[in-house]
Amino acid sequence: MLNTLHIKAISFDLDDTLWPVWPAIERAEATLLQWLTDHAPATAARYPSSAALREVRGQVESERPDLLHDLSALRRESIRLALHHAGDDPALAEHAFEAFFAARQRVDFYPDAMSALTRLAARYPLVALTNGNADVHLVGIGHLFHAAISAREFGFAKPDPRIFHAAALAAQVGPHEVLHVGDDPLMDVVGAVSAGMQSVWVNRAGHDWN
């Protein structure tokens, strides 16, 4: 049971907590495919679908575990590898990633998200805490957040307690004074509780706890 008297700050996961992530990813992947068609046709021909490019990403995940906390670097490296395999210039990877990343920031908020954030931001310092590469400022909600911490920039991903402690530090409160809100039982709920926080599970799909 939550002890609301102790709450002095709230941290929020982003993807699948404030907006559904897959529509944003699918749009970004479609944008990437179009960019490759226009600028790297050999790569587009060799990898004609998002599923084909995801196979390359899976290869990079296996070979580069050091990038698993940095989804931007992971995506950038998978694009570079696809370009290399197809005989296109791997240096195009940065421009291709920029097209993907810009589209990745186009999200469709859940109906209750903006009103909840606005209401809570008037009362508590809010901290964005994500393993993904959405940027609250590019998404358009940066003004509601006191701070934003990503695994990519911090170097450790949820459920590592250190990233939760960083959120508490950013809000200038103790971990026991932070309520973390997120959709992933392990990454968000167990991670936050293990770091000494309280946590709320956002279970929009009605999954059983396991």
pLDDT tens by residue, 94-115 = 999 999 999 999 999 999 999 9
> Rounded to two decimals, what is the model's pTM?
0.92
- 25-50 mean pLDDT: 98
Region 105-131: mean pLDDT is: 98
> CB of 163 within 8 A of CB of 157?
yes
Task: Read off the pLDDT of each residue in 169-190 and give the average, rounded to a whole number.
Answer: 98
Amino acid letter for position 156:
F
123 pLDDT more than 90: yes
| pLDDT over 90 at 210, yes or no | no
* pLDDT tens figures, 20-37: 999 999 999 999 999 999
Domains of the chain: 4-19+109-201 (3.40.50.1000), 22-104 (1.20.120.1600)
Mean pLDDT of the chain: 96
Radius of gyration of the chain from Cα atoms?
18
> Contact 109/18 with Cβ under 8 angstroms?
yes
The predicted pLDDT at position 72 comes to: 95
Q: Is 181 helix (H, G, I), strand (E, B) or coil?
A: strand
SS3 of residue 67 by DSSP: helix
88 among known catalytic residues: no
Beta-carbon count within 10 A of 87 CB: 10
- pLDDT beyond 90 at 3: no
What's the rounded Cα separation, in Å, for the pair 188 and 204?
14
* Closest to 83 measured CA to CA, from 36, 128, 123: 36
Confidence of residue 126 (pLDDT cuts 50, 70, 90): very high
Nearest residue to 112 via CA among 204, 206, 180, 22:
204
pLDDT of residue 1: 74
Q: Work out the average pLDDT over 196-203.
A: 97
